[in-house]
Amino acid sequence: MFNPEARWDRPYLKQKTNSLDEIIRVCAVFDKGKIEPRFFILKNKLYKVRRINYFWQERNGEVALNIFSVETNSGLYQISFNNKNFLWNLDKIIE
């Protein structure tokens, strides 16, 4: 089911966001063309993904980004996977 509140780039969202651009390490399952992040490490702390709230793809020229809104025990995060350089980024934290 579509949840518009999972997208942090919407002007009507009332939550505070902290925009970041930090490379992180992620353990993910790649299966049948789908990516499913399981946990990520940020500043030597492990964050287990409890739920993927929303997933979308964006293109920036030849670079495809797979972007995830994920929920952990400590909050909501936006992480992205760059299909060209195979790096994961922490994009935003929701407070």
pLDDT, tens digit, 9 for 90 and up, residues 30-45: 999 899 999 999 999 9
For 81-86, what is the mean pLDDT?
94
Nearest to 82 by CA among 70, 69, 61, 67: 67
* Residue 89 near residue 79 (C-beta atoms within 8 A): yes
**Whole-structure pTM over 0.85, yes or no?**
no
For 3-7, what is the mean pLDDT?
56
Q: Which string of DSSP letters, residue by residue, matches 31-42?
A: ETTEEEEEEEEE
For 80-88, what is the mean pLDDT?
95
**pLDDT value at residue 81:** 96
Is the per-residue pLDDT at 14 higher than 70? Answer: no
